[in-house]
Amino acid sequence: MLALRRAPAPQVSAVFCGHEALSVDGGRVVDAQTDQGILKVLSKQLNDRLPAPQNGLDAFVSALKGLPPGLRAMAAIYQLDISISLDDFGWHFANWHHHGYSRETARGLRELGATRAAELYEAAYELAAGHWEQLGSSNFAEWYKDSQLEKALEPLNQEMWALYGAMGELGLQKLWVEYARRNPTVLRG
């Protein structure tokens, strides 16, 4: 299995990976001149507004609904960014085993303009939904290896990895930056 990896990114916030939150003066995307600066602002916005998804996906999904569309989308796709950089769709659905969160992720990809990635994700989710019990089981790793689901997801994974690789070192967070540059005022704190 091909797994694209990228260098650790210092721009992520406490909500998303346990690092200390980054503060940015002004708190507006329009104040940031670089991709890294934009990501710092966005991370701060998300950190300030959301509970950690690891503390419960019901609360996280509920909190997403109170965000402006762009921030909601960015928060919804963050874990997919990590999953695709390290694993595949099957592992993503096992690690983030929640129908509501899965639907938010698909909606987020579309909001951010990643139509093909959204189509791949939705197709993977449809396949995964047929195996939802196994995806949430304690023996997922043993079950998944060489399973019908892993085989069915393989072409979707391959295409998603190619899309991911084309986004460069930012991975799916490139979508955040592009969205913020197109819509700077919607992200004001």
pLDDT over 60 (residue 2):
no
Question: pTM (2 decimals)?
Answer: 0.82
pLDDT of residue 186: 54
Taking the C-alpha atoms of residue 174 and residue 55, their distance in angstroms, rounded to an integer, is 26
Mean pLDDT computed over every residue of the chain: 84
In a domain, 106, yes or no: yes
Number of domain units in the chain = 1
In a domain, 99, yes or no: yes
Query: Which residue, chain included where needed, has tokens 């129908």?
Result: 99
In a domain, 160, yes or no: yes
Residue 67's nearest CA partner among 83, 51, 80, 55 is 51
Taking the C-alpha atoms of residue 173 and residue 80, their distance in angstroms, rounded to an integer, is 10
In a domain, 164, yes or no: yes
| Long-range CB contact pairs, 133-137, < 8 A, 24+ | 135/90, 135/93, 135/94, 135/97, 136/94, 136/97
Q: Which amino acid is it at 174? A: K
Q: Which amino acid is it at 189? A: G
What is the number of alpha carbons within 13 Å of residue 125 lying toward its C-beta? Answer: 19
pLDDT over 90 (residue 13):
no
pLDDT over 50 (residue 15):
no
Question: Whole domain around residue 128: which residue ranges?
Answer: 14-187
In a domain, 7, yes or no: no
Give residue-wise pLDDT tens across range 144-184.
Answer: 999 999 999 999 999 999 999 999 999 999 999 999 999 87
Give residue-wise pLDDT tens across range 28-79.
Answer: 444 457 899 889 889 988 999 999 888 899 999 999 999 999 999 999 999 9
Residue with more model confidence, 7 or 166: 166
In a domain, 145, yes or no: yes
In a domain, 183, yes or no: yes
Kindly state the average pLDDT of the residues 84-102: 97
Taking the C-alpha atoms of residue 9 and residue 168, their distance in angstroms, rounded to an integer, is 12
pLDDT of residue 26: 41
In a domain, 2, yes or no: no
Taking the C-alpha atoms of residue 49 and residue 129, their distance in angstroms, rounded to an integer, is 30
